[in-house]
Structure 1
Amino acid sequence: MSAPPRTPSPLLGPLRQTGRLFTLAAEVCRAAFRRPFQFREFIEQFWFVASVTILPAALVSIPFGAVIALQVGSLTQQLGAQSFTGGASVLAVIQQASPLIVALLISGAGGSAICADLGSRKIREELDALEVMGISPVQRLVVPRVLATMLVAVLLNGLVSVVGTLGGYFFNVIMQDGTPGAYLSSFSALAQLPDLWISELKALIFGFIAGVVAAYRGLNPRGGPKGVGDAVNQSVVITFLLLFFVNTVMTGLYLQIVPPKGG
């Protein structure tokens, strides 16, 4: 009498998907240094991702900086430490809010478009045609898109940091009667150059994650057009989860490695 078939483990599917995602990430890193580099495709994708994210990023950063400044200012007033409002709020914007805002907007706007584009090419068998002609879809299509999201993330992170800082300064001075000199002096007293470097490094890694996840889901849609739509939704959700996890790890490591200013 034959044994009953084994029921596949519910963890086996997610583990396989995770392994394939990391495999694609490693393949993208290797293909980025191969020739020929698709420079025209890179420029087109860079301009597209930047055009759909630059205005929302600038607009979203203003209320983010304002909310952080108002909340920090309220707490420092209760504790009698109003002089530290500027430093605390600006560091929160630069280290935490700015790279996350940029990455979430890139994933939601640029990443979803990348996933939909690659998914539609997949179901039309264009990617299979490239492989038949001996052209790697990863090198031809994925690498320029991932590099574009990384570069846009780094550049937009600087913009969001500046706009968010100015928004926090304006709302703290106008709405909470803060002193401009105290706001700026506390920032210069607490902030240090590694704070900016960790922010840019976060933006670079977050842009890489957003591009790779979008490309992975676009290369592996299930079914027809409906599968492409599901892949777009999944890419955004997966990217959000990975971003918050990686941000927690990087923040913890940074606070352990880099001592605070004056410490």
Structure 2
Amino acid sequence: MRPFRATGEFVAFCLDTLRSLFRRPFQFAETIQQAWFLVSVSILPTALVAIPFGAVVALQLGSLTKQLGAQSFSGAASIIAVVREAGPIVTALLIAGAGGAAMCADLGARKIREELDAMRVLGIDPIQRLVVPRVLASAVVAVLLNGVVSAVGIAGGYVFTVMLQDGTPGAYLASFAALGQVADLVSAELRALVFGILAALVGCYLGMTAKGGPKGVGQAVNTSVVVSFMLLFAVNFVMVAIYFQVVPQKGS
């Protein structure tokens, strides 16, 4: 029964966090500080991962479209793949791996030092004071990082398609208008927002429930990364399936 109990406690934790969003005072300074921390640990790895990711997508799809005789649509296929899937997935992995793990370690250390209990004794709600700012910061940074991944991935795909596959620069961008639409970007940004919130919630929950001293904190950090990855991929599949059912695609 332990997994069901943990699931119920996590759902209750999420509901408490949602309720604390509308309570005053709002921790504006803490939110800005956490957002800056997430940007500082995520922006460079995000850009470095996005370049080869976009290049690999462009090379694979460029080769496939050439075999099918539809090389003029290689740009559209590459851009759609980067915007729809690469951006949100890379953002989710980096936010969960770097940001979520750091949140879990921070709150876990506070837990074993009994700082959270001391805050409750003083009448301070740890969820409102510590969790809410981290969740909001993670959500905002995830949306911004998704835009960075999309822009860098498209630029990397453009360079590799034009230079290595002798693609036409104008056709690379013009073909996207034939198949792409604004809903693709909106869907990607929405998924990045949800992924950022989930990664922060998982990291904060496991950090605040860590037990067993420093060893327990390390185990909680490892667990937070694994659980975040599994949850994010499952949620991504559901949201993508809903998107294709709700939004009509161009050319279909």
Q: Identity of counterpart residues, as a percentage? A: 63
Partner of 1:54: 43
How many residue pairs get matched? 252
1:25 corresponds to 2:1:
no
How far the C-alpha of 1:225 sits from its partner, in A, is 0.2
Partner of 2:73: 84
User: Separation in 1 of the partners of 2:10 and 2:162?
Assistant: 47
Aligned counterparts, 1:35-54, within 5 A: 35-54=24-43
Partner of 1:261: 250
Find the partner of 2:222 among 233, 243, 256.
233
User: Separation in 2 of the partners of 1:22 and 1:66?
Assistant: 39
Find the partner of 2:124 among 131, 135, 144.
135
User: Separation in 1 of the partners of 2:9 and 2:73?
Assistant: 46
C-alpha contact (below 8 Å) 2:112/2:211 kept by paired residues: no
Deviations 1:203-224 (A, max 9, x none): 0000000000000110111200
Deviations 1:137-157 (A, max 9, x none): 000000001111100000111
User: Separation in 2 of the partners of 1:200 and 1:26?
Assistant: 23
User: Structure 2: which amino acid aligns with 1:103?
Assistant: A
How far the C-alpha of 1:134 sits from its partner, in A, is 1.2
Aligned counterparts, 1:142-153, within 5 A: 142-153=131-142
1:93 corresponds to 2:82:
yes
Runs of 5+ consecutive residues of structure 2 not aligned to the other structure: none
C-alpha contact (below 8 Å) 2:46/2:145 kept by paired residues: yes
User: Separation in 2 of the partners of 1:110 and 1:148?
Assistant: 10
User: Separation in 1 of the partners of 2:141 and 2:55?
Assistant: 24
Runs of 5+ consecutive residues of structure 1 not aligned to the other structure: 1-11
Partner of 1:14: 3
TM-score, normalised with respect to structure 2: 0.98
Deviations 1:52-96 (A, max 9, x none): 000110110000000111111111111111111111111111111
1:64 corresponds to 2:63:
no
Partner of 2:164: 175
After superposing on structure 2, the runs of 4+ consecutive aligned residues of structure 1 that deviate more than 6 Å are: none
SS in structure 2 opposite 1:221? coil
Partner of 1:8: none
How far the C-alpha of 1:262 sits from its partner, in A, is 4.1
User: Separation in 1 of the partners of 2:3 and 2:189?
Assistant: 31
User: Structure 1: which amino acid aligns with 2:213?
Assistant: G
Deviations 1:11-37 (A, max 9, x none): x11111111111111111111111100
User: Structure 2: which amino acid aligns with 1:120?
Assistant: A
Partner of 2:91: 102
Partner of 1:218: 207
Partner of 1:4: none
C-alpha contact (below 8 Å) 2:95/2:138 kept by paired residues: yes
C-alpha contact (below 8 Å) 2:142/2:192 kept by paired residues: yes
Partner of 1:7: none
1:73 corresponds to 2:62:
yes
Find the partner of 2:104 among 92, 115, 118.
115
TM-score, normalised with respect to structure 1: 0.94
How far the C-alpha of 1:182 sits from its partner, in A, is 1.4
Deviations 1:93-132 (A, max 9, x none): 1111101111111111111111000000000100001111
